[in-house]
Amino acid sequence: MIPVKILLGFIALSLFMVAIYRFVPPPVTLTMLFDPNGITKDWTSLDDIDPDMARAAIAGEDGKFCTHHGFDVDAIAKAAIHNASGGRIRGGSTISQQTAKNVFLWQGGGFVRKGLEAWFTVLIEAIWGKKRIMEVYLNVAETGIGTYGVEAGSIRYFHHGAGKMNRAEAGRIAAVLPLPKKRAAVAPSGFTRRYGNTIAARIGVVQRDGLDSCLR
């Protein structure tokens, strides 16, 4: 059993950190600190990122982002069934879960990490809200080797800021997000190219169907 004082201390500390990051950009994450390739990042307000980048993230990572409360039960169940059958591993994490993991925790699996991820997901959904979650996600997600955030990724791949991305570029960045160390947004081939094109085509659907309504 965890001593009550330690448990209460953890709850207080986690609440404090989440409250602070509601207004202050997270300065660094554990993933960044342990990256042997260094850290290249440039915090950018959501208002200064092309809206199609957020739509691309929704299209590629979490179509129910604006309607769920942190967890997509259907996606988690489908991922579990798919993974049990073998083949390419599929994740069921929402953007909120990924943001909680990226900001407060470490990469990798395990019941402890997943439990903490769920706790922080509940907190950021309650304290941050959807716009802040998307803003933080687009700034801390790994977009390439030693590269974090869509601003740094856009400059690295396309030589301009995230505010000037077109739909094809946003789709490529979104396609890289699940495996940033193995995929590149410049001259992508195979699965990355096809997936990027698919996401780019879905951006219009996200906008038309209001799947990004919580960000407007």
**Three-state secondary structure along the chain?**
CCCHHHHHHHHHHHHHHHHHHCCCCCCCCHHHHCCCCCCEECCCCHHHCCHHHHHHHHHHHCCCCCCCCCCCHHHHHHHHHHHHCCCCCCCCCCHHHHHHHHHHCCCCCCHHHHHHHHHHHHHHHHHCCHHHHHHHHHHHCEEECCEECHHHHHHHHHCCCHHHCCHHHHHHHHHHCCCCCCCCCCCCCHHHHHHHHHHHHHHHHHHHCCCCHHHC
* CATH label, 4-215, candidates 3.10.129.10, 3.50.50.60, 1.10.3810.10, 1.10.3720.10: 1.10.3810.10
Using pLDDT thresholds of 50, 70 and 90, give the confidence band for residue 187: low
Break the chain into its structural domains and give their ranges.
4-215
- Least confident residue range of 28-37, 69-78, 97-106, 169-178: 69-78
**92-124: per-residue pLDDT in tens?**
799 999 999 999 999 887 899 999 999 999 999
Q: Judge if pTM exceeds 0.85.
A: yes
If you average pLDDT over every residue of the chain, what do you get?
90
List, for residues 47-84, the tens digit of each pLDDT value: 999 999 999 999 999 999 999 999 998 867 665 454 44
